[in-house]
Structure 1
Amino acid sequence: MTLSHDVAGDGPVVVLLHSGVCDRRMWDAQWQTLIDAGYRLVRCDLRGFGGTPAPDRPHSDAEDVLELLNGLGIAQAVLVGSSYGGEVALEIAARWPDRVSAMVLLCSALPGHEPSLELGVLGEREEALLEAGDIAGATELMVDTWLGPDADDTAREAVRQMQRHAFEVQLAAAEEFEPLEAHIDLTAIVARCLAVSGRHDVADFRQIAARLPDLLANAHHVELPWAGHLPSLERPSDVADLLIEFLRQAVPVD
């Protein structure tokens, strides 16, 4: 399957991977700014999100992304992943280290992470609402949970639209297929990594970001005191500045 995607710009390649409550539109506010800074951008919708159909068989999101990059003739890229997109980035960097020049992980998930009680209860509430046919209620639960205090009405509406669309696409599928679980070796990752957490995020993701410097050979952690789980939507220009600062050090534009 070819993932629905956008490609634009010239220069070192940066791949933007969305969170599990959004789709590739979550990067709208950073898109042109990063292009203007001299980078070639790729953003895609994983299966069941945005413009990509729900999966009809067992699949690997990491392999889907790699297939997309192969089709575009991209040998190496910086991966920028938000939440679940960060988990996908980590899998790619562990399985194919030579394909990843650097990573920025925004409030990233982690392969094999055991969810806390808080996260487990949230999942149960979401599932109960969806089983009851209350898509609107499940959507609002996600909006209220994942956006921090600095998110404005525009950010809330963006997440609302992306999450509701994902629910509708996934619930309409004939059968549900979760991504295949890959057992990866994080010590295989050699790419430079910036792990970002938000002080107002769920504890699981704050703890993951803080652990990554101990798990990866070349990782640095920074916490954003104003952020929830989706900083690129909460303070778009601040995150664009953060990304450009990191990219200029990791993959300078000629």
Structure 2
Amino acid sequence: MTLAHDIAGDGPCVILLHSSVCDRRMWDPQWHVLVDAGFRVIRPDFRGYGETPAPMSDYDEARDIRDLLDLLGIERAAFVGSSFGGRVAQEFAARWPSRVTRLVLLCPATRLLAPTDDLRAFGAAEDALLEAGDIDGAVDLNVRTWVGPRAGDSVRDSVARMQRRAFDVQLAAPDAAADRDDFDLRQVSAPTMVISGGHDLDGMQRAAEFLTARIEGAVQRQLDWAGHLPSLEDPERVNPLLIDFLGAPASI
């Protein structure tokens, strides 16, 4: 399966990987900024999100991204991953380190840590709503949990639309199992920045601290004002951080 994606711009490649609360539209506030800065920018939808169908058989998100880059003839790219997208980005960078030039993890998840109490409570509440057929309630729960206090109504409405789309696609599809390879964070060789939000769940902040400690040379930026989706909540604050870390196009 080829992931639905957008691509624009010239210069070094940056691939944007979305949160599981959203789809590739979450990067609208960064899209033209990065293109105008001189980058070639790619943003895919993972399976079951946006315009990419849900998986029908075993799947591996990092391998899907590798296959997309191969299809596009892209050997190396900088990766910016939000939440679940950050989880995929860290796995890609560990499994194919020579293909990653920079790594930005925005409030990243990781499968190397067991869920904390707050993450388990959220998952249980979401499961209960979905089992009861209350899709609107599950959407509302996700928006309340993951969108920080600086976000306006338009951002909350956008996240709700993206989350609703994901539920509609995934709940209509048969179950398919993830088939993900193991990985070792010690293999990550790209310069790495981990961004965490002061209003995010404790479990996500713990993941950011864990990844910063385990990836050699990684630096962490704590955004006291941010929730879980800072690139949407206040892009005017986040975009300069991304541009500064990614560097001038000639440098990557």
Quote the residue 2:221 is aligned against: 222
Query: Does the CA contact (< 8 Å) of 2:59 and 2:180 recur in 1?
Result: no
Q: Distance in 2 between matches of 1:253 and 1:155?
A: 33
Q: Distance in 1 between matches of 2:180 and 2:76?
A: 24
For 2:219, the aligned partner's letter is: H
| Residue 131 of structure 1, CA deviation | 0.8
| Residue 121 of structure 1, CA deviation | 1.1
Q: Distance in 2 between matches of 1:144 and 1:50?
A: 21
| Residue 86 of structure 1, CA deviation | 0.4
Identity percentage of aligned residues: 51
Quote the residue 2:132 is aligned against: 132
For 2:175, the aligned partner's letter is: E
Q: What TM-score do the two structures reach when normalised by structure 2?
A: 0.97
**Deviation string, structure 1 residues 35-56 (Cα, Å, up to 9, x no partner):** 0011000000000000000000
Query: Does the CA contact (< 8 Å) of 2:200 and 2:226 recur in 1?
Result: yes
Q: Distance in 1 between matches of 2:223 and 2:149?
A: 12
Quote the residue 1:61 is aligned against: 61
Q: Distance in 1 between matches of 2:192 and 2:245?
A: 9
**Deviation string, structure 1 residues 115-162 (Cα, Å, up to 9, x no partner):** 011111110110110111100000000000001110100110010000
Q: What TM-score do the two structures reach when normalised by structure 1?
A: 0.96
**How do residues 141-156 of structure 1 correspond to structure 2 at under 5 angstroms?**
141-156=141-156
**How do residues 155-174 of structure 1 correspond to structure 2 at under 5 angstroms?**
155-173=155-173
Change in 2 beyond 3 A, CA 1:234/1:124: same
Q: Distance in 2 between matches of 1:178 and 1:205?
A: 24
| Residue 237 of structure 1, CA deviation | 1.7
| Residue 179 of structure 1, CA deviation | 2.5
Q: Distance in 1 between matches of 2:222 and 2:110?
A: 17
| Residue 253 of structure 1, CA deviation | 5.7
Quote the residue 2:205 is aligned against: 206
**Deviation string, structure 1 residues 7-56 (Cα, Å, up to 9, x no partner):** 00011100000001100000001100110011000000000000000000
Q: Distance in 1 between matches of 2:239 and 2:220?
A: 17
Aligned residues: 252
| Residue 218 of structure 1, CA deviation | 2.1
**Deviation string, structure 1 residues 196-241 (Cα, Å, up to 9, x no partner):** 0000000111112122232011210010010000001100121111
**Deviation string, structure 1 residues 52-90 (Cα, Å, up to 9, x no partner):** 000000100000000000000000000000000001001
For 2:43, the aligned partner's letter is: R
Query: Does the CA contact (< 8 Å) of 1:91 and 1:111 recur in 2?
Result: no
Query: Does the CA contact (< 8 Å) of 1:39 and 1:253 recur in 2?
Result: no
For 1:225, the aligned partner's letter is: D
Query: Does the CA contact (< 8 Å) of 1:50 and 1:165 recur in 2?
Result: yes
| Residue 177 of structure 1, CA deviation | 1.8
Q: Distance in 2 between matches of 1:244 and 1:49?
A: 27
**What is the RMSD of the two structures over their aligned residues, measured on CA atoms?**
1.2
Q: Distance in 1 between matches of 2:189 and 2:52?
A: 31
Q: Distance in 1 between matches of 2:181 and 2:112?
A: 9
